[in-house]
Structure 1
């Protein structure tokens, strides 16, 4: 049976992504003021680590099941192909939009290469880097539990101190900076003793209190990368524990679990398309003379989530169109 708690966690993560990008777009448009900076800082302290955390759940199993060629083929079609395709879809739409956007581009921008990644598409490349590195570690016999713990500690030190950028080029630094969260996900998900203790109300409460306390510390007192890193780690634990608890309490057939998991299964489609739809909504309202912050935030976030989800739901899961668009 499919573990819907994992899809639910992806659903939560993509929800935070959509809201964060909607708010930043509105700030750039001067519809929202600096008072929203704390909202952005809060979301950005953990939302992308959540995706890398989820990615670590099944990567060991995927490496075991697939041949080397099969593994890299799957990474290409799942990550690199959408990166390339949506770079030019995104740029093409921005060019056609002209001045009806925050950052207009010129025709010459359409000729840029997909690397370094454009805008939010950095995530696909960074995830590809983490998978390649984990694959190499796996083949070297360095991904058993004891080795995983050592690697987690080492990468945690590097990431928390922001050292990757000092020793690696930008194309590699972002991926390596998130490798720790993939290792963390792999360690947590493949250790039954930990998972069995996370789906309790006590685990949710304790991890939630620690997460909130660290966020307050980060946002109000100590805005340092080390504290932000701890926020990301505890955020991963808290939200995973929450999803496990909800799944256990309400069951896989409940509306709450099903809704969150459906959004999670469509997370790639939402990630690729949400900024286009949210921006279209924002610019349409501005063109009509409406700058109401509440309507912009709620409408932009909701449409950015529901619009791509509707497209994904209308397309057959393994159809030619779905595969061609890189949404499968």
Structure 2
């Protein structure tokens, strides 16, 4: 049987295109940051490439809040379909399990290949996987999303907190996360729960409107685009220049949390608008495919980008930063998708989830129930 590795089909015809477009945008921004910082750590001179660093700072202002809002949008819908216990099991299988598996794999490879990579790893890093996930490169997000989701489900289903109580709780936690950052108190994984809970709750708040197809026309409106564009531009301009002024690309996020929330939310709103426009015109389908595979790209992109960078620099002698960035970015998107499709084809689904994917017949049975 021929395997079409570049098929852009994203599954069910009922699947919302805008969500994949939004995830596609977010994951590419994540890849850009990780790849650019990986190149920067090699010691290559960056003189003349300030614009690449500036883009890296701007993208940072909204990409992670966007991921948490997107997840929060669907929490109510998920709980309506499954019991809390089943949904917890599902989140363990698709978030915590791949986090643990790929974190251990990456740390192990970085230790074994310490002479060739720019990550300084030791046995102690295995303990950081649970306690201090941000010290394990990019993987902290999966752990944070799992923890936030679990806590939100408990407060929503067991403690029966209303959405406004959730927002109040999230706001308190958010400002506490700023306080501990200012005081340089490292709470490990607890910080990410505190910092992103509010964005998850905002996603839940917005879900009834954003999932209502009657509103899609407004979300995909050019009037909305031109209304949000200047707000987005002003927010990003301030974020960039303030962080450059303070020589700290987390200055606004840490020391001006209220302003950061406004900038982040305006950025998320603008990305939603772009995603709905792409859905409206059914354009840039490859971006939708990238969004559909965002989780699988996320877990392996650093390994792929690092390997690509080593081949380019040490094997081919290429040191041009834009070339390295573009090639590594392309490879970090394409190769993980190919890896995932091959894994599904040859029964290695366990690399990405504890849940075995349903066969076509099983999917049809579920749809007919």
TM-score interval, smaller chain: 0.7 to 0.9
Matches within 5 A, 1:268-307: 268-287=295-314, 288-307=316-335
Find the counterpart in structure 2 of residue 243 from structure 1. 275
**Cα distance between partner residues in 1 of 2:310 and 2:268:** 34
Deviations 1:96-142 (A, max 9, x none): 32211112434x35754631222211111110111112102221332
Find the counterpart in structure 1 of residue 5 from structure 2. none
**Cα distance between partner residues in 2 of 1:261 and 1:280:** 26
Higher mean alpha-carbon deviation, 191-200 vs 224-233, is at: 191-200
**Cα distance between partner residues in 1 of 2:112 and 2:72:** 38
Find the counterpart in structure 2 of residue 15 from structure 1. 28
Find the counterpart in structure 2 of residue 87 from structure 1. 103
Match for residue 160 of structure 2 among 141, 144, 163: 141
Deviations 1:192-244 (A, max 9, x none): 47655322111122222211110101111475223332221111111011111
**Cα distance between partner residues in 2 of 1:183 and 1:212:** 25
Q: What's the TM-score, normalizing by structure 2? A: 0.78
**Cα distance between partner residues in 1 of 2:188 and 2:108:** 25
The alpha carbon displacement at 1:5 in A equals 0.5
Find the counterpart in structure 2 of residue 155 from structure 1. 170
Aligned 8 A contact 1:274 1:305 in 2: yes
SS in 2 for 1:169: coil
Higher mean alpha-carbon deviation, 67-76 vs 268-277, is at: 67-76
Match for residue 259 of structure 1 among 286, 296, 302: 286
Match for residue 31 of structure 1 among 21, 25, 44: 44
SS in 2 for 1:100: coil
Unaligned runs of 5+ in 2: 1-13, 244-250, 358-369
Match for residue 316 of structure 1 among 344, 356, 365: 344
**Cα distance between partner residues in 1 of 2:318 and 2:186:** 45
Find the counterpart in structure 1 of residue 114 from structure 2. 98
Find the counterpart in structure 2 of residue 209 from structure 1. 230
Find the counterpart in structure 2 of residue 49 from structure 1. 65
Find the counterpart in structure 2 of residue 72 from structure 1. 88
Give the total of aligned pairs. Answer: 317
**Cα distance between partner residues in 1 of 2:224 and 2:175:** 24
**Cα distance between partner residues in 2 of 1:183 and 1:197:** 23
Matched, 1:231 2:263: yes
Q: CA RMSD in A?
A: 2.6
**Cα distance between partner residues in 2 of 1:157 and 1:112:** 29
Deviations 1:58-103 (A, max 9, x none): 1111122212321111111011111111111101221232211112
Distance 1:67 1:235, change over 3 A: same
Distance 1:52 1:96, change over 3 A: same
**Cα distance between partner residues in 2 of 1:275 and 1:164:** 29
Matches within 5 A, 1:98-137: 98-106=114-122, 108-109=123-124, 112=127, 114-116=129-131, 117=133, 118-137=136-155
Q: What's the TM-score, normalizing by structure 1? A: 0.87
